[in-house]
Structure 1
Amino acid sequence: MDQENFNFNSEKTSIFDKLLSKISAIGNREQATGNRENKTGKIDQEKFNFNSEKTSIFDKLLSKISAIANTAYFILVRYTSRGQDARTTTLKKWLWATAFGLAFGAAILVKQTTIFFLFIPLLSIGVNILRKRQWQKLIQLIFSLCLSVAVFYPWARTNWLLMLTAGKRATVDSAIAEGDPNLLSLDAWLYYWKLLPYHISLPLLIIPIGGLFFYFIRSFKKQDKFSSNYLHSCRWLAIFLIGGYLICSLNINKDFRYTLPLLPVLSILLAFGLMQFPRKVGKQIRWFTIGLAIILMVLNLWPVGGIFFRKISAWLSPGGVYYAHLGKEWPHQKVIAEIIKTDPYLRSTLGVLPSTPEINQHNLNYYGALQNLQVYGRQVGTNLKQVPQDVRSLSWFVTKTNDQGSVKRIKKAQAAIVNIIEKNPNFQLQKSWLLPDNSNLNLYHNQFLPVEVHPLTKPQEKIKLDYVILSPKIRPGVPIPITYKWSGSWQELQSGLVLLTYRHENIDRALLQPLVSDNNVSRFIHDRAIGMGSLYPGVSPANKSEVGFEIIERIGMLPPANISSGNYILEATYLNRKTGETYPIPIQPPVRVEVDSQAEILPAPELDLVTQLRMWGQKLPLGIKGLETVFEEVGRVNQYDPVQDYTKQAEKTLAYRLQQDPNNLELLYGLSLARVLQQDADGAIAALTRVTELDSQNPFAYAYLAFVYLYNLNPGPAEIALKSALELDPTQPEIRALNGVTALMQGNVIKAWRYLK
């Protein structure tokens, strides 16, 4: 498929589309990396040869989508059926309308594409109601639609931008990448028709269709008049099937799963056809069809029958092989159990390097979720430039011998990270399992742990900093290795944020410069959660004597490049993220370090994620150039912290710092970014409003504020912010694009066209 077929003007749309796609990356917790085969009207049987181990999670999702879409459609048909007018009370009509509103709203929450199947029926009902002037039904229909909006609106308000940008990737981008047939070709409109044998099997498709032909021929010869109820039923079946088929075919990205909600309704039509054969042979035909279907089911579920019958089965039921797994169990649960056994007090992220149907990040993440969300599976090693950071940021990896799965697009990066993990002396083979396909699944664990947890037998109330290990001399602007040891009760440790300030020893606190300055600064910070947010909240000590714990952190710290030379002393404050309680943490003996531009450079672990977020905030004043780096880094880091707890840590610690230093622009940019990443529009607006006051000559500050207003569906204040941005830089294309979107959201199409063209 060629992008020219869609008549896009790249010069007009590239800038704004690029901005939207970058912003939408905030909400993407994980991106698919598989590269599906080319689809040019041909159906590849291998893509339908599913194994129950491979697709159980996927099947559950598809079945839920089909169930909720057909449930909503059933209620809609029941509400508008003819019997309602004569036999149903007004109260029952309102109850059916209410039920449809709730079901339709739930259907959109489950999968937004369910509207593909209900749009044509709703349009048909609306036209019919207006044509017959049934005003009470119109009010009921409007009420049900408003009720459905009330159900999905809170979710849609937060995720509308993600839906729009993800929709483009899921349609246009995917269609081009996969080679889907052009909409102007016949293959595009016959694609799903060709899939019917794969969905249903030839006997259950051809024989009922034969019954339908027989029925129509018999009715035509006898000149039978169809009853009104029969015509009414056929009309509803046709509206759902034809409307859904046409809209799915109109979608330029073709995939077998898109039409699954049509199958339950299609089965009604086929069952009707199976009942239309003459009485003399009808019973035998039905028993033959059922018997053949059972035989095919057995042949597709069990490896029996020999080569000849399997070939017959493959011809009559293409793509239906779904063998029950009778061999060794796949070790997903054992992998998760081994991780929890080794790190019982931590929430772990498992780096999954293979991507086969049996072993991938999705099913390992699923089994980790079954263990109270203590282990998350994430695919890393997808970008060659980020491989070193991936290796330094995670403690657990799984590799697989032989087939690596769908990693063609990331083959170099995947091979590089596997090679590093297997040869890195810090990573040791924790355990290995022989898989049913005779390959090995290997679980590697980093012996140089960034976080260690040890239970204590003595009571511990307030948090204590037992020791800090770092080089006596550190160089500005270069990451350094540092080790902290904390002790305290589990509740205090798990809920604790620490605000660490390295202050120049010869300068009084009252005379300290801001944390950020064009001149040399005399202090720097290392704020974050204890254990970097990886302490598992579900832990409860099994032994009541374990009333205290010690946490050892081995991480990297980054002194600012413009830090003044001299001796610095560490000061620490504890902040409970749940209660807001704060208290100073005594440090005995005092921790001192000398900043020296000639200090030796030592290899350092990866910086903690809160420090990295603060570094991203420093790039925001640069505008689109800074955003390029920020969003690339966000996508990477979100793989390491699947619950994005680092954004919450950053927000709490930065907000606390700003109470003491309210005019610190860099901290405000960091706070704004942390709130944007949490999709906290109101909080981000408050922070960015303060940013525009302090950075009033930067047009991008106003642009950021306007964008968040637009995200929050509030174009009026966005227009005011953009007015200031355009006064500072009227030629900036991103700002002009945002102004065009603002005009469009306010209904000013002419102004929108002027800025977006």
Structure 2
Amino acid sequence: MWRALGHGIIVVMIALALALPWYVKNYHDFRSGAQNALYVDSKLEGDPTRFWPSLIWYLAALKDVLISRWLLPFFLGGWAAFFLWSRNWLALSFSLAWFFPSLLIFILIPNKDARFILPLLPSLALLSSAGLNSIPWKRTKLAVVIALIIIASYQFSAISFGWPKFIEHPYTHRAVREDWQVDKILAGLKTAFPEKELRLAVLANQPYFNPNLFHFYGAVQAPSFKIDSVGDRPLNFTQLTAYHFLILKTGDIALEHTARHRRAFLSKFWPWLEGENKGPSFILWGKWPLPDGSEALVYQIEK
């Protein structure tokens, strides 16, 4: 026991020796980023901060991270089998020690995100697997395992390849061969302003038309461009004066869970274009047709 404890202390000391210098050197940046991630975002998104509302929030968020419900009966059945036949209390203690302290940390952190609970689910799945493996009847266990493999394979194929049926989910998007014009938009701007280091604000946040894609193509085609995502937080016209161009699209502007502030801005933006206002002006520089029937719109911003 003491030898294992000594080994654990050595591992912790090595980890501190490797990681601590970075945190000491970058303490102010780390502290500023942590404050934004843990507190500022929480206020902007209206996340619950008290214990019970936070716990209920994560329980409700399960529907956003569970890709399908086909495997749920196996999960619950495995848990029942674990307590009926396995009763490995050491394994149970290990899983609970993994699950509850982490869950408590996520509850206490003011900023909430459904993805936070994903690393916790394997701790519960391990017990379920042990339970299925403890089924005393060989034929029954074999049938359950075969059914589990078939359903899991079907789900993997549906998510990854859209066959035999595509599963739609906020975190899984079908791989398609479509031209979403991102490279052409950047190429057009690069051609029109060859010597200028443009600053682009991307409001759209759709699966195939979003800031990440502009970053990807920009790194190859226009590395001098500064490309930012806007609309994750409340956005006003004054903030956009820091950019040369605003990129958005007609139709759906973003996935539902990221659309709130973007829609609020657009509700003011369209009337702004038609009126005479004191402040920045937006001149339509170019538009491109998109595969979903909408249009990509690029507005030049003049202060």
Q: TM-score range by the shorter chain?
A: 0.7 to 0.9
Summarize deviations over 1:29-73 as a string: whole Å, max 9, x none. Answer: xxxxxxxxxxxxxxxxxxxxxxxxxxxxxxxxxxxxxxxxxxxxx
Q: What's the counterpart of residue 117 of structure 2?
A: 259
List aligned pairs for 1:521-560, cutoff 5 A: none
TM-score normalised by the chain length of structure 2: 0.72
1:402 to 247, 251, 262: 251
* Residues 340 and 374, structure 1, Cα contact 8 Å, conserved in 2: no
Q: CA RMSD in A?
A: 3.8
Q: What's the counterpart of residue 439 of structure 1?
A: 294
Deviation at 1:286, TM superposition (A): 1.6
When residues 417 and 378 of structure 1 are mapped into structure 2, their CA distance, relative to the original with a 3 A threshold, is farther
Q: What's the counterpart of residue 55 of structure 2?
A: 189
1:279 to 138, 146, 153: 138
Q: Secondary structure at the match of 2:288?
A: strand
Structure 1: where are the runs of 5+ without partners?
A: 1-131, 221-225, 447-604, 607-757
List aligned pairs for 1:365-444, cutoff 5 A: 365-371=215-221, 373-379=223-229, 382-387=235-240, 389-390=241-242, 394=244, 396-405=245-254, 406=259, 407-411=262-266, 414-415=269-270, 420-422=281-283, 428-429=285-286, 432-443=287-298
* Residues 352 and 360, structure 1, Cα contact 8 Å, conserved in 2: yes
Distance in 2, Cα, partners of 1:208 & 1:399? 42
* AA matched with 2:126: I
Structure 2: where are the runs of 5+ without partners?
A: 275-280
* AA matched with 2:247: V
Q: What's the counterpart of residue 97 of structure 2?
A: 239
* Residues 212 and 276, structure 1, Cα contact 8 Å, conserved in 2: no
When residues 275 and 203 of structure 1 are mapped into structure 2, their CA distance, relative to the original with a 3 A threshold, is farther
1:156 to 13, 23, 38: 23
* AA matched with 1:188: S
Matched, 1:217 2:84: yes
2:147 to 288, 292, 312: 288
Distance in 1, Cα, partners of 2:171 & 2:29? 36
Distance in 2, Cα, partners of 1:368 & 1:180? 33
Distance in 1, Cα, partners of 2:86 & 2:126? 20
* AA matched with 1:436: P
Matched, 1:352 2:202: yes
List aligned pairs for 1:619-698, cutoff 5 A: none
Deviation at 1:204, TM superposition (A): 2.4
TM-score normalised by the chain length of structure 1: 0.33
Distance in 2, Cα, partners of 1:247 & 1:362? 29
Distance in 1, Cα, partners of 2:70 & 2:225? 45
Q: Secondary structure at the match of 2:216?
A: helix
Distance in 2, Cα, partners of 1:196 & 1:357? 21
Q: Secondary structure at the match of 1:203?
A: coil
Matched, 1:330 2:180: yes
Q: Secondary structure at the match of 1:421?
A: strand
When residues 270 and 334 of structure 1 are mapped into structure 2, their CA distance, relative to the original with a 3 A threshold, is farther
Distance in 1, Cα, partners of 2:293 & 2:80? 51
Q: What's the counterpart of residue 204 of structure 1?
A: 71
Summarize deviations over 1:509-545 as a string: whole Å, max 9, x none. Answer: xxxxxxxxxxxxxxxxxxxxxxxxxxxxxxxxxxxxx
* Residues 398 and 443, structure 1, Cα contact 8 Å, conserved in 2: yes
Structure with the bigger RCO (C-alpha within 8 Å, sep 6+) is 2
When residues 236 and 200 of structure 1 are mapped into structure 2, their CA distance, relative to the original with a 3 A threshold, is farther
Q: What's the counterpart of residue 302 of structure 1?
A: 162
Distance in 1, Cα, partners of 2:62 & 2:128? 12
* AA matched with 2:216: Y
* AA matched with 1:274: L
2:189 to 323, 339, 360: 339
* Residues 86 and 131, structure 2, Cα contact 8 Å, conserved in 1: no
List aligned pairs for 1:159-174, cutoff 5 A: 159-174=26-41
Count of residues in correspondence between the two structures: 285
When residues 279 and 138 of structure 1 are mapped into structure 2, their CA distance, relative to the original with a 3 A threshold, is closer
* Residues 191 and 249, structure 1, Cα contact 8 Å, conserved in 2: no
List aligned pairs for 1:470-489, cutoff 5 A: none
* Residues 384 and 416, structure 1, Cα contact 8 Å, conserved in 2: no
Deviation at 1:418, TM superposition (A): 6.2
Summarize deviations over 1:439-497 as a string: whole Å, max 9, x none. Answer: 11134569xxxxxxxxxxxxxxxxxxxxxxxxxxxxxxxxxxxxxxxxxxxxxxxxxxx
* AA matched with 1:351: A
* AA matched with 1:330: W
Summarize deviations over 1:399-423 as a string: whole Å, max 9, x none. Answer: 4233444314434664478673336
List aligned pairs for 1:585-604, cutoff 5 A: none
Distance in 2, Cα, partners of 1:371 & 1:183? 47
Q: What's the counterpart of residue 278 of structure 2?
A: none
Q: Secondary structure at the match of 1:149?
A: helix
Distance in 2, Cα, partners of 1:438 & 1:200? 28
